[in-house]
Structure 1
Amino acid sequence: MSGHFSPEQATDPRTFWDARYGERPKIWSGAVNRVLADTAPGLTPGRALDLGCGEGGDSVWLAEHGWQVTGVDISATALERAREVSESRGLEKEQISWQQMDLAEDFPAGEFDLVSACFLASPIHLPRAAILQRAAKAVAPGGTLLVVSHAGAPPWAGNAAGHRHFFPTPDEELATLDLQDDAWDVRCAEVRSREATGPDGEPGLLKDTVVIARRR
């Protein structure tokens, strides 16, 4: 499949995201999210849930660092690529598994020592607040919740970048999560900057809203 598929053309989220991933053989870099890579080494590996795992970069990294990972995405196309990457890296089914799921309708069962939701967003309908609150409930006692979102548009996006996107502040993200004070320790709620390269090779500084919380 080629060409750009706009949100207006989508009949449902699965159609949109399969078409989006079908635009190119590879959408994402495959590199681990920097915040996850900075956070996970301070945790004891256990069961991890990667929500909106896409082509599997974060999930594969976690599995290679001792975690038992469940990667979840709505796109069958993305998950097939993720599965190919994990198999090429020699990861076994006991180390990493993939689930196709519309998180607006369903959610993985069980509790996890790490629940990661990095850049969980969509240009079409996504009940993000409800999903993130379910993500928090899936964190096991002593486990960690990691939520990363864009805090602003990239400098190469132009003035129209904010029309369809919501860029939450740390306070807004905490309000969305609705974490109970007596059940959670919020370790981090801040905006972080990172260097990145635009589609035409131009360098830029991106800002992310990061929330890290530990269930007591």
Structure 2
Amino acid sequence: MADDNISHEELWDARYSESERIWSGNPNTVLVREITGLEPGRALDLGCGEGGDAIWLAQRGWRVTATDISGVALERAARHAAEAGVADRVDWQQHDLGASFPAGVFDLVSAQFLHSPGDMPREKILRTAASAVAPGGVLLVVGHSGSPSWEHHPHPEVHLPTPDEVLESLELQDGQWEVQLSDEHERIHHGPDGQPIVRMDNALKVRRLTG
């Protein structure tokens, strides 16, 4: 469980300070599958971490606003973007999304594994994310379906919803959205010992209708 005496920012700064790279640097597979072929526009990456998704989008012509609570992660992500030659296509912003949110409307809003120990108001954040989707644009939410088998003390305060629960929590207006994807899927994850383990994730993709 998260230490009640430290903030979410401090928690994630400490997590990212554990090593020079926490994540693989590759884009999330569902993002690649669902976004490939879309006309590039303005994208918002929520909880961007070290920038793998944002950089991938920028390399394909998207103009990206990427946000994270951790300044350590954002500094690292900006460095990776510069190394990839797309520094001018990504606006890195630090936000505690429960308290502040990037301004503007976007053709794509992506929330990939937006989970955190503690009392992060995930449902509220995702409703705000939906309101930031432009007409014709897409909201893509990907998350874990359950705690991994190697985690003996999962965070009881972190609810891992089904895609149907995510959809219901968005409180989308009838007739204004189209559900394009709602499913659970297996993903290979490497456990603490480096061995590949299958775990379940889920994905929800909705498009705001024009007109």
Query: TM-score w.r.t. structure 1 length?
Result: 0.92
Matched letter for residue 29 of structure 2: R
Q: How does 1:1-216 map to 2 (within 5 A)?
A: 7-8=2-3, 10-93=5-88, 95-158=89-152, 160-161=153-154, 163-216=156-209
Deviation at 1:164, TM superposition (A): 4.2
Equivalent pair of 2:78/2:87 in contact (CA under 8 Å)? no
Offset of 1:162 from its aligned partner?
A: 5.7
The alignment partner of 2:154 has SS state of helix
Identity %: 50
- The letter for the 1-side match of 2:169 is T
Q: Is the 8 A contact 2:119 2:157 kept in 1?
A: no
Alignment deviations for residues 6-29 of structure 1 (CA, whole Å, 9 cap, x no partner) = 721642211111111112221111
Aligned residues: 209
Letter in 2 for 1:35: V
Between 48-57 and 119-128, report the one with greater CA deviation: 119-128
- Structure 2 CA distance for aligned equivalents of residues 89 and 16 of structure 1: 28
C-alpha root-mean-square deviation of aligned residues, in Å?
Answer: 1.4
**Which letter maps to 1:174?**
L
Code of the aligned partner of 2:52: G
Shift of 1:143: 0.2
Q: d(CA) in 2 for partners of 1:10 and 1:96? A: 33
TM-superposed deviation, 1:170: 1.6
CA contact (8 A) 1:31 1:58 kept: yes
- Deviation track 1:15-49 (CA, whole Å, cap 9, x = no partner) reads 11111111222111111101001011131110000
TM-aligned CA deviation for residue 178 of structure 1: 1.3
TM-score between both structures, scaled by the size of structure 2: 0.94
Which secondary structure state, in structure 1, belongs to the residue aligned with residue 48 of structure 2? Answer: coil
**C-alpha contact 1:151 1:167 (8 A) present in aligned 2:** yes
Q: Deviation digits for residues 50-93 of structure 1, max 9, x if unmatched?
A: 00001101100111111101110011000000000000011132
User: Hey, which bits of structure 1, 4+ residues long, moved more than 4 A?
Assistant: none
Contact persistence 1:10–1:16 (CA under 8 A): no
How many angstroms apart in 1 are the aligned matches of 2:161 and 2:15?
24
Query: 1:39/1:10 Cα in 2 relative to 1: closer, same or farther (>3 Å)?
Result: farther
Cα contact 2:118–2:157 (8 A) shared by 1:
no
- Give the match's secondary structure for 1:136: helix
| Structure 1, unpaired ranges of 5+ | 1-5
SS of the equivalent of 1:125 reads coil
